[in-house]
A and B are shown apart, each in its own frame.
Chain A
């Protein structure tokens, strides 16, 4: 009996899996997620880097290794700088308005009174509309001939029918921003609301006893206590805004001229004409900017994700 058991143990040892493949080791558990990341994250990124280091001949379709070519071209391409400017302008304006509006609406809705929960639920409705559909809605509402928003702006003498908002290079970006702000302000409201609801009550009670006004409490307590939440909201939304594509593509297709061209829409346009290597370089440039700015922001505001 003892001999048989010993043999079984020997056999088990012989055919046993290496330890790193057993359930005791983290490797098998990490494998699916790692594989997904490699296939859908690392490989495309590596491929984009490979492309950016090659010069493409659109006629012969040959990619020749020339690591400086696309990066040199990017730095000397006026449209890249114009697109970067538009992207930054868009991001800053949208982020500022969404943040301020989001915080104000959250303060208004931060109540347990009857009906407020319905209002809070209604606030989330724009978020479930696909961005391209939102863009189409605003495209129609801003149409120079029959758009309800355009007509309202004409009536208020804020716009002239001779210069439709989306066909005019000085106002087109504002038109696109309207759609973004309508759709994404509720996202800010939700985050701010979650932050407000998690604030401790004691400091506010103490402030009230000391005779602080609501405005004083807001600036001295609410804002400082909310700073981490605000920083995270700015970071998440800022990264998203920097990659803006949907609204621009549907509403203006980067126009008039290049007045609303962003880095992603420029990269997309180049890509769809077959200049894959240059398009990848612009996409990588966008990624680099996002990583650098986010890292600086996280260091400055001590954000830990």
Chain B
């Protein structure tokens, strides 16, 4: 199957999904489906796809507030030299990308630089970036790089801090690198001492609970995994007859979301994915305990959890099918949206803590075990970019204080910059309503104190989307291993250790 054919097919699926999720109108759906049906794949149909549903509020005036005069002046002075150039970047429908796509006119008007943003599902972002670097094609000037891929692409991107220092004529005044949250710089952008991009997006695990349900059963909000487990079981026992379960999971087999859930489960039990001698350790005692705990949670989750990724998990929360979840903070604005049937009912909590964490020094490949799994990303400048200077100016604009703060105001997602967290406009939106920021205090605490990171290794992009979620999927759906967590993890260890050895890592 050709790449474009694949794009077309997933584009159609994503369009239909967006329609089903009421993110696009019937007219828009028919238009898109018609275009694809007429062989519009040449257009690069995937660019309109959308797997990660935007849960912010684009109607808010903050998205269209207009930018400061000094920023516009800088764009005119510096950017207009590159008038007529076109920069391209491909990204998942991550909240900042969606907002940037809406407000990019504020960049293109003063500079005359065209910006084409391809929004496609995460797996396609990876495939497109891999193809681009393999052939050193320069099809994309900028990459959206998930944290789990930073090692894979470290040699294909330009260090932005070095670039900022070396290209003084293009450096944005007052860009303020120190304003970026330190844990984010270290956890997302740094690989072997090199900065691979600018932190751009930080979905992170926090605990969320339905206050009304917990109050009804006299359960206090949990702070530990044990309390969480007890509360989940109690709610399932009491509410299952009403179609509500204690928790909801993103256990779709073969999907990265299952790997994310599993990772958090083993970290909570004091385990890690790799040991310091670079051996897979999901099959050690702590790893098995974590996986068994996850299997137990699945018994207390809606049955469709094994077919749900993060979107499915959000739907369970929004549909009132579960009461306690440790998952992505970026669900929150959607739960509080005006048309949500659970508006104001979910509350954010610091992620529940488990057993003593495994020390970073005892884990391998730069893995950081902790209670808040992060799925952040960076915006990175390709070494093979055709218009690197224009792309660099766009990158600085997109990650500037003002634009990042406005993205947060619109999307309600966690910002990368300390100044955005402290911005009075962001604070003012910390109330129930569309694009709420009322979860951001918990998010900031988690980033500063409990942020966990998956291993930094070139093979991780493959392990996290293939071997791990596939074998875990076989276990949790009963296709194989007969429910035996140890057997499953031993097989994963065999597969992963062989590949690590073969790659000479």
Q: Is B304 an interface residue (CB 8 A)?
A: yes
Report which of B8, B37, B477 forms a contact with A256, defined as CB distance below 8 A.
B477
**Which residues of A are found within 8 Å of B123, using beta-carbon distances?**
272
* Binding site secondary structure of chain B: helix
Contacts of B461 in A (CB 8 A): 273-274
Complex interface: chain A residues within 8 A of B133 (CB) = 61
Contact B13 A249 (CB under 8 A): yes
Q: B459-485: which have CB < 8 Å to A?
A: 459, 461-462, 465-466, 470-471, 473-480
Shortest distance from the beta carbon of B223 to any chain A beta carbon, whole Å: 31
CA gap between A140 and B479 in the complex, in Å: 23
The answer for the CA separation of A272 and B1 in the assembled complex, in Å, is 12
Interface residue from B253, B304, B479 paired with A144 (Cβ < 8 Å): B304
Check A110 for interface membership: any CB of B closer than 8 A. no
How many residues on the A side are at the interface (Cβ–Cβ under 8 A)?
48
A to B CB contacts below 8 Å, 8 in the list: A59-B504, A167-B307, A169-B478, A253-B254, A257-B475, A258-B254, A258-B470, A272-B465
The answer for the CA separation of A136 and B12 in the assembled complex, in Å, is: 9
Distance in angstroms between the alpha carbons of A260 and B479 in the assembled complex: 11
B458 within 8 A of A: yes
**Do A58 and B479 have beta carbons less than 8 Å apart?**
no
* A144 and B127 contact, CB distance less than 8 A: no
* Pairwise interchain contact B13-A250, C-beta atoms closer than 8 A: yes
User: Is the C-beta of A132 less than 8 angstroms from some C-beta in chain B?
Assistant: yes
CB distance from A40 to the nearest CB of B (A): 9
Taking CB atoms, residues of chain B closer than 8 Å to A246 are 9
- Find out whether the CB atom of A59 lies under 8 angstroms from the CB atom of B503: yes
A258, B462: Cβ atoms closer than 8 Å: no
Pick the contact of A145 from B9, B37, B321 — CB < 8 Å?
Answer: B321
CB neighbours (8 Å) of B16 from chain A are: 132-133, 136-137
Question: Per-residue 0/1 for B12-25: is the Cβ within 8 Å of any A Cβ (1 yes, 0 no)?
Answer: 11001100100000
Given A143-B304, A166-B307, A167-B307, output 16 extra A-B contacts at Cβ < 8 Å.
A128-B37, A132-B9, A133-B33, A136-B16, A140-B20, A162-B303, A167-B303, A169-B478, A245-B1, A249-B10, A250-B13, A255-B255, A255-B477, A256-B476, A264-B1, A268-B1
Measured CB to CB, the residues of A under 8 A from B are 57-59, 61, 79, 128, 130-133, 135-137, 140, 143-145, 161-164, 166-169, 243, 245-246, 249-250, 252-259, 264, 268-276
B321: which A residues are within 8 A, CB to CB? 145
Interface of A is mostly: loop
A269-B466 contact in complex given A59-B504, A135-B13, A169-B478, C-beta closer than 8 Å = yes
Q: Across chains A and B, which 7 residue pairs bring their CB atoms closest together, nearest first?
A: A256-B477, A257-B474, A136-B16, A257-B479, A132-B12, A169-B479, A273-B462
Nearest CB on A from B346, distance (A) = 19
Q: Which single residue of chain B is at the shortest CB-CB distance from A40?
A: B2
Given the interface pairs A61-B134, A255-B477, the reply to whether A249 lies near B465 with Cβ below 8 Å is no
Tell whether, in the assembled complex, residue A268 and residue B37 are in contact, meaning their CB atoms are under 8 Å apart.
no
Complex alpha-carbon distance, A255 and B319, angstroms: 24
Q: Whole-angstrom distance between the alpha carbons of A259 and B480 in the complex?
A: 10
Closest A residue by C-beta to B307 = A167
Q: CA of A249 to CA of B255 in the docked complex: distance in angstroms?
A: 12
Choice from B12, B20, B126, B462 contacting A58 with Cβ under 8 Å: B462
Nearest A residue to B471 by beta-carbon distance?
A: A257
Contacts of A128 in B (CB 8 A): 37
User: Which single residue of chain B is at the shortest CB-CB distance from A128?
Assistant: B37
Q: How many residues of B contact A (CB 8 A)?
A: 53
Q: Are B303 and A163 closer than 8 Å at their CB atoms?
A: yes
In whole angstroms, how far apart are the Cα atoms of A120 and B305 in the complex?
41
- A130 vs B476: C-alpha distance when bound (angstroms): 32
Contact at B474–A58, with CB atoms within 8 Å?
no
User: Which listed residue, A61, A130, A257, touches B253 by the CB 8 Å rule?
Assistant: A257
Residue of B nearest to A144 (CB): B304
A199 and B382 CA atoms in complex are apart in Å by 64
Residues of A within 8 A of B36 (CB): 130
Assess whether B33 is in contact with A168, with CB atoms less than 8 Å apart: no
Per the bound structure, the CA–CA distance linking A269 and B304 in Å amounts to: 23
Q: Closest approach, in angstroms, between the C-beta of B393 and any C-beta of chain A?
A: 30
Instruction: Scan B36-59; emit 1 where CB is below 8 A from any A CB, else 0.
Output: 110000000000000000000000
CA A168 to CA B306, docked complex, whole Å: 8
In the assembled complex, which residues on chain B have CB atoms less than 8 Å from the CB atom of A61? 133-134
Once the chains bind, are B462 and A275 in contact (CB under 8 Å)?
yes
Q: A167-B303, A245-B1 are in contact. Are A258 and B474 (CB under 8 A)?
A: yes
B83-120, CB < 8 A from A: none
Contact status of A167 and B304, CB under 8 A, knowing A257-B470, A268-B1, A273-B465: yes
Name, among B13, B37, B305, B475, the residue most crowded by chain A CB atoms within 10 Å (CB to CB): B13
Give the CA-CA distance A254 to B471 in the complex, in Å: 12
Cα-based distance from A135 to B14 in the complex (angstroms): 11
Please tell me if the beta carbons of B304 and A164 are within 8 angstroms of each other in the complex. Answer: yes
Complex Cα spacing A137 to B20, Å: 9
> Which residues from B are CB-within-8-Å of A268?
1, 6
- Nearest-CB distance from A157 to chain B (Å)? 16
Residue numbers in A under 8 Å from B504 (CB-CB)? 57, 59
Q: Quick check: is B187 within 8 A (CB to CB) of the other chain?
A: no
Residues of B within 8 A of A273 (CB): 126, 461-462, 465-466
B35: min CB distance to chain A, Å = 11
Report whether B458 and A168 are in contact in the complex, using a CB–CB cutoff of 8 Å.
no
Question: In whole angstroms, what is the CA distance A167 to B321 when docked?
Answer: 17
